[in-house]
Structure 1
Amino acid sequence: MKIQTARFFLVLQFISLFLIASCQGDDSNEVTPDPELENAQLKSFPLSETSHLNIKIVHPEIVNGEEKKYGEIEITIPASHQSLMLSLKQFDLDNNKYSISPSIGDQQDFSKGAVIYTISSNFHEDKSVHYNVKVVIEAAPVNTNSKITGFSFEKSKNPSLESTINAVKIVEYENYSENAIYILVPVGTDFSKLTPTITFDAAKLYYSLGPEFKPYTSNTMVVDFKYPKHFYLQAENSNGNKSKVYNVIVDVKDPIKFEQLPVITQNVKAGDGSTTQYFAAVAKWTNQGNHPIKGMAVESYKNKTFPFVYTGDANTITAILSNPVVGIDGVLPGEKGDVNITVKRMSITGKYTTTAEFAPTFNFNNYTIHNWPVTDRVEGIFNTAELKVESTISE
């Protein structure tokens, strides 16, 4: 009887020890952190579309192997990048162990607030942690200036051009509400399909092709500069209380093209020098530019030759350019004008020659080309056009 009692107590003692050990094992599992979640921490969050100026990372809070609080990531990007459609560029954890959603390259709209990114274990579907990712744009620096500093047609954006072309002049006209940017392209350029590159010292830049200004946000916009259309730019300071408007003038260096050189008139009958022979429309010229060209007088004559020795400065031959179309103020781009020649009836017969030099200028007041003297808002940006004329005076 005593032996049985002893055996009974031994069994009870064994059972008690087993239960204690089992309980201790369970307690140990509850306090041991899950290594999968403990290691699922983002050390960075690079973006595909832009670099960041600053990043703050607070990791998820994990207690007893369970996520108690989401992590927080706040990223500050440059003010020059205004779009908040962004994506994760790379995932810096072991892809064999973890996956992330939204995935790499999957654009999200951060303008609506924080986006939740979930990091999941590849071995335990129910194991995951989360980050609230917030993206903010830095405050734009205060800029008190409002001016255009550069304007060009880059070769890389304008394949039809042989090289990059820069503006010949960016001018601010004092006491006027409108300024000008002048840029000259090769003859034959399609004025209606050009992509400008613009630099500016201002807080904001706007453009207009019509009645209203819109934000200019891209240097890849194709613009129609073909006459009579106008492309305006407006540079504005940070406070919005100072701005400058620029009208972009696109043309060619040589807007006047003569169809034949030299121009040879019919023979002129000799006289005493007091009378002249007038030749109307003896030749044609073409407006190969981008603005109307008014009738034009000669700036100067050179290379004058006479059938006798002469050292004076008399002009036996004179020329003017005229518009044959009545009612139109100037020869329009692509249209033709007339060359009119006047020859004095000199007493000495023989061949007379001269080279007439036309010096076109651009009048910003009415957007036409003529031979006005260079002055306020009249720019001498074109090459001189030369016309050689020959005439023979005979008995």
Structure 2
Amino acid sequence: MKTQTVKFFLALQLISLFLITSCQGDDSKEVTNNPDLENAQLKSFPLSEVAYLDIKITHPEIVNGEEKKYGEIEITIPRTHTSLMLSLKQFNLDNNKYSIFPAIGEQQDFSKGSVTYTISSNFDKNKSVHYNVKVVAEAGSVNLNTKITGFSFEKSKNPFLESTINAVKIIEYENYSENAIYILVPVGTDFSKLTPTIAFDAAKLYYSSGTEFKLYTSNTMEVDFKYPKRFYLQAENSNGTKSKIYNVIVDVKDPVKFEQLPVITPNVKSGDGTATQFLPAVVKWTNQGNHPVRGMAVESYKNKTFPFDYTGDANTITAILSNPVGGTDGVLPGEKGDVNITVRKMPVAGKYKTTAVFAPTFNFNNHTIHNWPVTERVEGIFNTVELSIESTISE
């Protein structure tokens, strides 16, 4: 009986020892599932929005299980991908052991600098490592120039044009903040629907139709050039330290059109040659261009004919273009103005003739057309226009 009791207790101790060992084995297994920070390392950082060209990874410094210095990741993406709102596409660690924040798919703004990503242990949230992630565009060739070199309306992009039209003048005005591009289109062109082709010697090109400049990325963009709209281009160098702004002026070669030619005035009574007869609004003229036309004096007279032999240079007939609408800065596009004529009461009766030559110029300072002398920021880009006038002086 005593022997059986001893055997029973020995067996019971063996079972207890086995259970204790088994429990210890389970505890040991649970401990090994608790990952250490040395293994919390990112081997890559794929992006959801774009495939990167290069990546450089420096892992965090861990001393005695504690993070002493953040890791660094620098990602290079193509220059053609302009948006820096990017997100992590894939996390290459065991999701049962580790988690990352910001999470997969959450877009971050890398244009403001590095974004810090935190990798934490799922078993102990106090244990974590960090990576400062920076995204940069691939390096391109350095361009220190800031020039617009070409501007045109190609027929292929503007099918209503008979042929491709190039700018008549691209000019930089020294000591001014704005430069100019002048391009002249046929009469009747819809100024609101033109697609330009732009060539430039610069790192970047921006455009503005109003308050802010945006990156110009396509030569297929339709632009509204119709007065009073304005269109600006800004050419910038690689360093972003220098730029030039160009204002694009679109108009026609012949902004002034007379309703009838020649103009025949009412008869004027003869006199002693000192008095004159003022004849207002003898005929109308139309502004068929794209900018206001101010009142315009004659540049010169030619083809002068008298009813007697005369070799001098006197002007019996003179003319001026005027704006009949008060309060406006010139005759607006599509509207009409007056031709006012003055006839000198000559002592010899008969028919007098002359041709008035008008030479419109564009004033960049106020974006109007007038007959200012060509000088800095006043451009003689238009054709001259002629008005034939006949007047009969009767006794």
TM range, smaller chain = 0.5 to 0.7
CA RMSD across the alignment: 2.1
State how far apart, in whole Å, the 1-side matches of 2:369 and 2:82 are: 43
Q: Does 1:290 align with 2:290?
A: yes
Q: Does 1:139 align with 2:139?
A: yes
What is the match of residue 17 of structure 1? none
CA offset digits 1:360-386 (Å, max 9, x no partner): 000000000000000010000000010
State how far apart, in whole Å, the 1-side matches of 2:161 and 2:310 are: 48
State how far apart, in whole Å, the 2-side matches of 1:112 and 1:165 are: 45
State how far apart, in whole Å, the 2-side matches of 1:322 and 1:301 are: 18
State how far apart, in whole Å, the 1-side matches of 2:77 and 2:264 are: 70
> Which portions of structure 1, spanning 4 or more consecutive aligned residues, are displaced by more than 2 angstroms?
76-79, 81-84, 111-115, 136-139
Shift of 1:172: 0.2
What is the match of residue 303 of structure 2? 303
What is the match of residue 183 of structure 2? 183
What is the match of residue 116 of structure 2? none
The within-5 A match list for 1:192-271 is 192-271=192-271
Q: Residue type of the partner of 2:322?
A: S
Shift of 1:113: 8.1
Q: Does 1:152 align with 2:152?
A: yes
Q: Does 1:171 align with 2:176?
A: no
State how far apart, in whole Å, the 1-side matches of 2:383 and 2:77 are: 48
Evaluate the alpha carbon distance shift between residue 175 and residue 83 of structure 1 in structure 2; reply closer, same or farther with a 3 A threshold.
closer
Shift of 1:186: 0.2
What is the match of residue 103 of structure 1? none
Aligned residues: 276
What is the match of residue 382 of structure 1? 382
What is the match of residue 330 of structure 2? 330
State how far apart, in whole Å, the 1-side matches of 2:263 and 2:337 are: 14
Shift of 1:276: 0.6
CA offset digits 1:156-215 (Å, max 9, x no partner): 000110000000000000000000000000000000000000000000000000100000
SS in 1 for 2:362: strand
TM-score (normalizing by structure 1): 0.67
CA offset digits 1:73-126 (Å, max 9, x no partner): xxx9985x5479xxxxxxxxxxxxxxxxxxxxxxxxxx86899xxxxxxxxxxx
CA offset digits 1:118-148 (Å, max 9, x no partner): xxxxxxxxxxxxxxxxxx9752211000110
Shift of 1:320: 0.1
What is the match of residue 353 of structure 1? 353
State how far apart, in whole Å, the 1-side matches of 2:78 and 2:274 are: 77
TM-score (normalizing by structure 2): 0.67
State how far apart, in whole Å, the 1-side matches of 2:195 and 2:332 are: 24
The within-5 A match list for 1:33-182 is 81-82=80-81, 138-182=138-182
Q: Residue type of the partner of 1:198?
A: I
SS in 1 for 2:381: coil
The within-5 A match list for 1:12-27 is none
Q: Residue type of the partner of 1:235?
A: A
Shift of 1:311: 1.0
Evaluate the alpha carbon distance shift between residue 202 and residue 113 of structure 1 in structure 2; reply closer, same or farther with a 3 A threshold.
farther
Q: Residue type of the partner of 2:273?
A: G
Q: Sequence identity, in percent?
A: 81
State how far apart, in whole Å, the 2-side matches of 1:82 and 1:333 are: 42
Q: Residue type of the partner of 1:222?
A: E
State how far apart, in whole Å, the 1-side matches of 2:81 and 2:303 are: 61
CA offset digits 1:268-325 (Å, max 9, x no partner): 1010100011100000000000000000000000000000111110000000000000
What is the match of residue 393 of structure 1? 393
SS in 2 for 1:150: strand
State how far apart, in whole Å, the 1-side matches of 2:161 and 2:77 are: 36
Q: Residue type of the partner of 1:375?
A: T
State how far apart, in whole Å, the 2-side matches of 1:322 and 1:83 are: 52
What is the match of residue 373 of structure 1? 373
Q: Residue type of the partner of 2:339?
A: V
State how far apart, in whole Å, the 1-side matches of 2:239 and 2:77 are: 22
What is the match of residue 344 of structure 2? 344
State how far apart, in whole Å, the 1-side matches of 2:304 and 2:363 are: 31
Q: Residue type of the partner of 1:142?
A: V
Gaps of 5+ in 1: 1-53, 55-75, 85-110, 116-135
State how far apart, in whole Å, the 1-side matches of 2:379 and 2:390 are: 32
Q: Residue type of the partner of 1:269?
A: K
CA offset digits 1:240-270 (Å, max 9, x no partner): 1100000000000000000000110011101
Gaps of 5+ in 2: 1-52, 54-75, 91-135
Shift of 1:329: 1.4
State how far apart, in whole Å, the 1-side matches of 2:78 and 2:158 are: 28
Q: Residue type of the partner of 1:141?
A: S
Q: Residue type of the partner of 1:162?
A: E
Q: Residue type of the partner of 2:181?
A: I
Evaluate the alpha carbon distance shift between residue 240 and residue 305 of structure 1 in structure 2; reply closer, same or farther with a 3 A threshold.
same
Q: Residue type of the partner of 1:259?
A: E
CA offset digits 1:305-353 (Å, max 9, x no partner): 0001111100000000000001111000000000000000001111000
